[in-house]
Amino acid sequence: MTATATTHGLDGTLVKPDWPPLTLREVRALLKPFPSCGQPTAILTVSPRPFSAASVVATSSGPVFVKRHPRSVRNREGLLEEHRFLAHLLAHGAPVPRVLATAEGETAIESGAWSYEVHEVPNGVDLYADAISWTPFFSASHAYSAGQALARLHLAAQGFNAPRRAPRPLVASFTIFAAADPQAEIERYLAARPALARDPDARRGCDEALELLAPFHAALRPLLPALPSLWTHNDLHASNLLWSDAGLDAHAVAIIDFGLADRTNAVHDIAQAIERNIVEWLELTLDSAQTRDLPIHLDHLEALLDGYDSIRPLTAAEAAALAPITALCHAEFALTEADYFLAALHAPEKARVASIDYLVGHARWFHSPGGRKLLDAIDQWAAKRATRAQEVGAR
């Protein structure tokens, strides 16, 4: 392991990585069967993302992006779920990276304890390379462009009819609060993830979160039939976009990192983007039992939603569902992260951060003045756009 390799820790600090960085020797062996890849010559970047090892690698044919996963997190079939979605998006004009294949057409390579994938490097500036989730955009203009990029992705995703992904760690699904009975659904969710089901912190976190989130589910439930299912990204943070330039008016030119993708719905994906970019949650790690006055970037919220709506206008039901889904959408990500920490890392202390600090702490925050402020701002945006639509219709 190189002395300089670090990843983003749970509190936003840089820490020792859980997985060893890629080596040039390893990458040279991996890329031999890939006809479009030349001889690797250098590891250009080491990603600070914590859940895998990833690097941009220089080759004699140009740079490629290589990502290595523990097979307990992503086996071949798990990667193929993502690759099939990316292929559909590319075929429908979405600005996403092409997954490269071996001469035999294989895009997911298993070797020993690891699974590998190789992507082309899209054009664009990695403007947020060091940014982590729950930190804001640099400007409202970036937020607006991110909203537009997400809307275009949703348009391209239409017609991709693959089922929901199999239960596996680190997938941001939406099943518990998409059900009429969240209590029964959470039991099914836990039963499919034995390490999570056995963990007392996860059990306690689920019980508390169900109670805290019940009012938001009650508000969402009558709207659920009007939300068509759709394969979605589920992690649209600014760092998962590449940008036209380094300016504050730059626009998004590519969307990357589909590891959390699954069949949810468009409103869930927008809510995830709000959750990732608009609230600075990391301050809750100081004391999740306190409903701290977290920074909320309401100008970025409005820009993100206006950008999305300019490309793919929300229906009335989607706009009405956005506030309650924003309060609910973190739940399954917190649980899938806890499952990763328990099943893959065997790190119960890290799992507790996800199942208590994230799952319960975020749910509690939505009952605080700050949480109500955010949800009110979303509802106000929805009401404003409805008024605008009525005025246009009356002309």
CB burial readout 290-329, b (16+ within 10 A) else e: ebbebebbeebbbbbbbbbbeebebeeebbbbbbbbbbbb
Tokens standing for 150?
A: 């997400």
Tokens standing for 4?
A: 């300089």
Residue 293's pLDDT is 83
In 3-state terms, what secondary structure has residue 40? strand
Which class does domain 140-394 fall in?
alpha beta
Confidence grade of residue 8 (pLDDT, cut at 50, 70, 90): low
Residue 3's pLDDT is 39
| Rg from Cα positions in the chain | 20
CA 135 to chain CA centroid, nearest Å? 14
The rounded distance, in Å, linking the Cα atoms of 274 and 125 is: 22
Tokens standing for 7?
A: 């990843």
Is pLDDT of 1 > 50? no
| Tens-digit pLDDT profile for residues 186-213 | 999 999 999 999 999 999 999 999 999 9
Average confidence score pLDDT of the chain = 94
Please report, for residues 5, 29, 46, 121, the alpha-carbon distance to residue 2 in angstroms, rounded to integers and kept in the order given.
6, 20, 10, 24
The rounded distance, in Å, linking the Cα atoms of 227 and 265 is: 6
The rounded distance, in Å, linking the Cα atoms of 50 and 239 is: 14
Is pLDDT of 14 > 70? no
> What amino acid is encoded at 344 in this protein?
A
Domain ranges in the chain?
7-120, 140-394
CA 164 to chain CA centroid, nearest Å? 16
Tokens standing for 243?
A: 């940008």
DSSP, residue by residue, 194-229: HHHHT-HHHHHHHHHHHHHHHHHHHHHGGGGGGS-E
Topology (CATH) of 7-120: Phosphorylase Kinase; domain 1 (3.30.200)
Residue 289's pLDDT is 56
Tokens standing for 190?
A: 């836990």
Confidence grade of residue 16 (pLDDT, cut at 50, 70, 90): confident
The rounded distance, in Å, linking the Cα atoms of 187 and 172 is: 17
> What amino acid is encoded at 176 in this protein?
I
pTM of the model: 0.94
Is pLDDT of 338 > 60? yes
Burial class of residue 4 in the structure, from the number of CB atoms within 10 Å of its CB (0-12 exposed, 13-18 middle, 19+ buried):
exposed
The rounded distance, in Å, linking the Cα atoms of 274 and 389 is: 23
| Tens-digit pLDDT profile for residues 364-395 | 999 999 999 999 999 999 999 877 766 566 55
Confidence grade of residue 15 (pLDDT, cut at 50, 70, 90): confident
CB burial readout 41-76, b (16+ within 10 A) else e: eebeebbbbbbbbbbbbbbeeebbbbbbbbbebbbb
Tell me what the mean pLDDT of segment 35-48 comes to: 95
| Tens-digit pLDDT profile for residues 84-124 | 999 999 999 999 999 999 999 999 999 999 999 999 999 99
Tokens standing for 30?
A: 């991996």
Q: At what angle do helices 316-328 and 266-277 cross, to 10 degrees?
A: 50
Residue 2's pLDDT is 41
Tokens standing for 167?
A: 């239960």
Confidence grade of residue 12 (pLDDT, cut at 50, 70, 90): low
